[in-house]
Structure formats: C-alpha cells, structure tokens
C-alpha cells in the first residue's frame, strides 16, 4: 500500500495533552511532522509542544463546541498554511451499571466521543479537502464488542465508527481519505482511572484472553503512526483486533450470554455500586472545564 511521507506535513491531534495523543504527537514529530494540538489542558499542551523537535503549536478548545472548533481550524490553517492529517483522539469514559449511572456523565461520554468527533471533522474538513488529506478517528474495541458496565462508551464508539464509514464514502471522490482506529485496553490514564473502580476492574479481569489484558501504549501508537503513513481505512492498535472485526456479526449473540453470566457472578456488587463519573485525568479535566 502507498505510504505518505509525514515529513513537513501538518498533523492536528485532539486530546493531545496526554496518553495516546501525546505519544502520537511525539512519534510523528520525530518523523518531521508539524504538530497542532487541541485539548482542554493548556499547561499540559504547552509542555508537550515545548518538548517536540519540530514546529508545534497548541489550542485550548472543547471538541464539542462547534464555534470554538471552527475558530481553531481557521487558526491552525493561518498558523501553518495547511492541514494534511487530523486525528480525532479526544475522548472520555465512564462506567458502572446503567441503572445507577450519572445521567450527566453518561451524556457527556456521548457528547465528547461521538459529537466531538463529528464537530472536529466538520471544522477541519474544508482544510482537508484543500490538501486532499486524511481524517483518522480513534474508536475502540468497544465499537465492535458490546461490554457490560460500559453502555455510554460502547454506544459512543459504535456511533463514531458508523459516522466515519459514512463520511468516507462522501469525501473519497474529492481525494480525502478517512480511517477509524481501534484500541483494546491500553495503558493510559483513562484505563487506569477505570481500573481504580474495583467492580469495573474485577469484571474486566474475567474477560477471555486477549481482551482481559492491558496493553503497553507505545506499540499501539506505533501502529497508529503506521496507519497515518498509509492513510489506512482501518488501524488496529493491537494485532489481534482484526479477528473481532472479521467476526463482528457473530459476536453479540455469542458474547451476550457469557457477559450476562459474568455480571450475575457480581450481582450483589452491581446492585450496591455507586455511580461512576468520568474517569482518569482526562475526565477530571473535562469536569473542571465545565465547572
């Protein structure tokens, strides 16, 4: 497959203050890409930009704010003169039983992960049309395999995956490529924040291999970098994720009964579980932003 040299290209990364976004910025910058970071933590974004060995700048914005994101896109275009790649990486997560979930946190996961991805695409699409560029939306294994205690996260990632597939068909004839990235449990603040809740951590440990593992961040980001260089339609952060993708039509009826059995083993703890808000440092930053 053809590869695009990212040296000198302008790459926009949302959620660039930490985790996948930060490391992706570092690895692409090492290949000569110019980096534009967007997120809610200006001090962290400034720290990342200052440490990159390339031309880099950052913008403070909520990816669900359409007016703010249009302004950011215009500012990035003015600053760098073009945009070649946009990675929609910003995301938050919540968890726990749906019946006792915090309605505001549940809704916010949908807003950031699904609507934030669409707002990012809408804001930057004019620049990508101009450069015949690439839009990569980070989704998750949760888009393919439904998981208990993750209703908002699964719904948001399945939704954004469907959006990406639809958008791809709309813009292909204009030379813009659109991809979706899949990650399993990867060592980030978000996953560590989820594991801080005993019920969610213990339930996850009952999943079958290889879904019960937490995978190192760097190899997963290497695969995302490779996907950006190929402008791939599908990017898999862990090697085995191609399997669930191929079998996805069979998975819900197979996994549903097994998942129900696992939840039943924790029935008393599920019924007594306290509501879980947004998890991890990114979730905390989002809550601070909204006051």
Catalytic residues: 153
| DSSP secondary structure string for all residues of 132-171 | T-EEEEE--GGGTS--TT-HHHHHHHHHHHHHHHHHHHHH
Give the list of residues 6+ apart from residue 71 with CB closer than 8 angstroms, or none. Answer: 61
Q: Report d(CA 258, CA 278) in Å as an integer.
A: 27
Half-sphere exposure of 54 (CA within 13 A, CB side): 22
Largest CA distance in the chain: 58
Residue with tokens 């809610």: 40
d(CA 123, CA 72): 8
CA gap 31, 46 in Å, rounded: 20
CA-to-CA distance for 4 and 27, rounded, in angstroms? 15
The CA-atom distances, in angstroms, between 144 and each of 8, 103, 221, 237 are 35, 24, 20, 14
Q: How far apart are CA 54 and CA 199, in angstroms?
A: 43
Rounded distance between C-alpha atoms, residue 194 and residue 188, angstroms? 10
Q: In this structure, what token pair is assigned to residue 168? A: 């791809």
């Amino acid at each position: 497959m053809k590869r695009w040299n990212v040296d000198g290209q302008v790459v926009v990364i949302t959620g660039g203050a930490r985790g996948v976004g930060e490391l992706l910025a570092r690895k692409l910058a090492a290949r000569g890409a110019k980096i534009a970071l967007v997120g809610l933590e200006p001090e962290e974004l400034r720290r990342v930009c200052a440490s990159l060995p390339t031309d880099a700048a950052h913008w403070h914005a909520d990816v669900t704010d359409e007016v703010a994101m249009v302004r950011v896109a215009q500012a990035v275009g003015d600053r760098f003169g073009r945009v070649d790649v946009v990675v929609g990486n910003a995301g938050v997560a919540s968890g726990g039983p749906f019946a006792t979930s915090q309605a505001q946190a549940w809704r916010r996961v949908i807003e950031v992960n699904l609507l934030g991805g669409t707002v990012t695409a809408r804001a930057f699409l004019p620049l990508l049309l101009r450069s015949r560029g690439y839009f990569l939306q980070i989704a998750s294994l949760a888009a393919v395999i439904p998981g208990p205690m993750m209703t908002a996260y699964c719904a948001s990632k399945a939704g954004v995956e469907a959006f990406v597939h639809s958008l791809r068909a709309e813009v292909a004839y204009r030379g813009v490529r659109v991809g979706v990235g899949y990650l399993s449990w990867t060592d980030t603040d978000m996953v560590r924040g989820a594991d801080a809740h005993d019920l969610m951590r213990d339930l996850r440990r009952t999943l079958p291999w290889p879904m019960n593992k937490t995978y190192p961040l760097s190899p997963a980001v290497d695969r995302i970098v490779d996907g950006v260089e190929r402008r791939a339609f599908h990017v898999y952060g862990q090697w085995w994720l191609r399997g669930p993708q191929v079998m996805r039509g069979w998975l819900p009826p197979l996994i549903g009964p097994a998942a129900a059995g696992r939840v039943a083993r924790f029935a008393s703890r599920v019924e007594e579980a306290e509501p879980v808000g947004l998890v991890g440092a990114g979730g905390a930053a989002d809550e601070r932003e909204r006051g």
